[in-house]
Amino acid sequence: MAQNQLKSLYNDLKRSFEAKPFDLKKCGSLLAKLKIGLIETGLLIPQGEHNIDDLVVARDILEIGAIWSIRTRDVPSFDRYFSQLQTFYTDYSSVLQPSKNEYPIRGLNLIRLLTQNRIADFHTTLESLPIPADAIADNQYISHPVNLEQWLMEGSYSKVWNARERAPVEEYKFFVDSLMGTIRNEIASCEEAAYESLPLKDALTLLFFNNQSELLTFAQQRGWQVDLSRSLIIFATKGEEQAEIPKQKLISSSLAYARELEQIV
């Protein structure tokens, strides 16, 4: 593909990306064409020296691709774009001007890891961010997922709930929705352990439901007893766990000790 053709496609993509309303389909087809172009010019995964302008264009295309995948709700595709962008963000960081989209996209990646409950990966990624740890609080794109993680871990679910409206970029909301499903289940499992019974009204607010029917279907899913006359949810108390003596294990370990002792003496 000729260089100028690539250029015109890129301009096309940029225009349709910035246009409102945003044309998902057109962007998708343009991206597919552009990616082929990038591969042909060796810019998709650049190695060695390249023209700086070309690299910037390639990075822009991939960034648009990443955001586009979020808008089309295609998480695996976002994952691919993000890995391709890594080269630009880390290996060429000394050559290229930092992109204004870099941190939003990094933040999106963090939230994605959080919603998939990949906490270990989340921390690894966080650790490898090129910004110092005490500057994280100043970077709204990064501090958002970081705070979410902290609140989730300590159990301040209401803060997570309230933060969903404060997403720094529109795209964050896509992940926040699925995050809500996760925390609702978290809260439910906490309630099962912590309460004997709970008035329906309070359960409604605790679980962030808007109306009772939603709550009732949720309660049904989790197998809760609902006493409508007293408007109470009664959580089944778990019977005392019968402590069983692991006979097999005890015998085998005792025998092992005896054998070892014999060797020593």
Partner 1 sequence: MKSTEKEDQKDDKKQETKEEVKKEPPTPLAEIKGNFVLIDRAVSTLEPRFTHRVLKTLTTLVKKIDEKIIRNAIEEVYPKESATKTALLSWLPASPSEDVEMQIESSSTSTTTTKPAPVTTEPVPEIDIYLRLLIIHQLLKSTGSVSEAKDLSVETVKKMQALNRRSLDSIAAKVWFAVERSFELDGDLAEARPLFLAAQRTAALRHDDDTQASLINRLLRSYLAYSLYDQADKLVSKTTFPVSAGNPQFARYHYYLGRIKAVQLNYSDAHTNLQQAIRRAPPATLAPGFYQAVHKLFVVVELLMGDIPDRGIFRHPVLEKPLKGYFEIVKAVRTGSLSQFQQTVLKHAVLFQADKTHTLITRLRQNVIKTGIRRLSLAYSLISLKDICVKLHLDSEEDAEYIVGKAIRDGVIDGRLVHEKGWMACGGAGGVKRGYGSEVAEVFTRRIGYCLELHNQSVKAMRYPLNAHRKELADAEGAREREKELAKEIQEGDLDDEDLGGDF
* Distance of alpha carbon 94 from alpha carbon 88, whole angstroms: 10
Query: Minimum distance from CB of 11 to partner 1 (Å)?
Result: 35
134: CB partners within 8 A, 6+ apart? none
Which of positions 75-114 make contact with partner 1 (CB under 8 A)?
90
CB atoms within 10 A of CB 196: 10
Residues in 133-162 that interact with partner 1 by CB under 8 A: 133-134, 150, 153-159
Stretch that binds partner 1, among 32-40, 68-76, 127-135, 220-228 (CB under 8 A): 127-135
Cα–Cα distance measured from residue 46 to residue 48, given in angstroms and rounded to the nearest whole number: 7
Cα angle: 210, vertex 212, 116; to 5 degrees: 55
Q: DSSP labels for 84-123?
A: HHHIIIIITTTTSPPPTTHHHHHHHHHHHHHHTT-HHHHH
Are 90 and 98 a contacting pair, CB within 8 Å? Answer: no
10 contact partners, CB below 8 Å, separation of at least 6:
34, 57, 60, 61
- Is residue 257 at the binding interface for partner 1, with CB under 8 A as the rule? yes
Q: How many residues bind partner 1 (CB under 8 A)?
A: 44
* 228 touching partner 1, by CB under 8 A: no
Which range, of 19-27, 54-62, 186-194, 223-231, touches partner 1 by CB under 8 A? Answer: 186-194
Binder to partner 1 among 39, 119, 251, 258 (CB under 8 A)? 119
> Which of 4, 20, 100, 264 touches partner 1 by CB under 8 A?
264
SS3 per-residue string spanning 146-183: HHHHHHHHHCCHHHHHHHHHHCCCCCHHHHHHHHHHHH
The reply to whether 258 sits near partner 1 by the rule CB under 8 A is no
Q: Which of residues 15, 123, 166, 222 is near partner 1 by CB under 8 A?
A: 123
Stretch that binds partner 1, among 27-35, 45-53, 96-104, 242-250 (CB under 8 A): 242-250
Name the residue nearer to partner 1 (CB basis): 5 or 117.
Answer: 117
- Give yes or no for residue 253 binding partner 1 (CB under 8 A): yes
H helix or E strand, kind and range, residue 126: helix 119-127
Decide if residue 181 touches partner 1 (CB under 8 A). Answer: no
What token pair was written down for 257?
């000790």
Which residue among 246, 251, 255, 258 contacts partner 1 (CB under 8 A)? 246
Angle at 156 between CA 152 and CA 160, to 5 degrees: 65
Contacting residues toward partner 1, per CB under 8 A? 90, 119-120, 123-130, 132-134, 150, 153-159, 186-187, 189-196, 198-199, 202, 206, 243, 246, 249-250, 253, 257, 260, 264
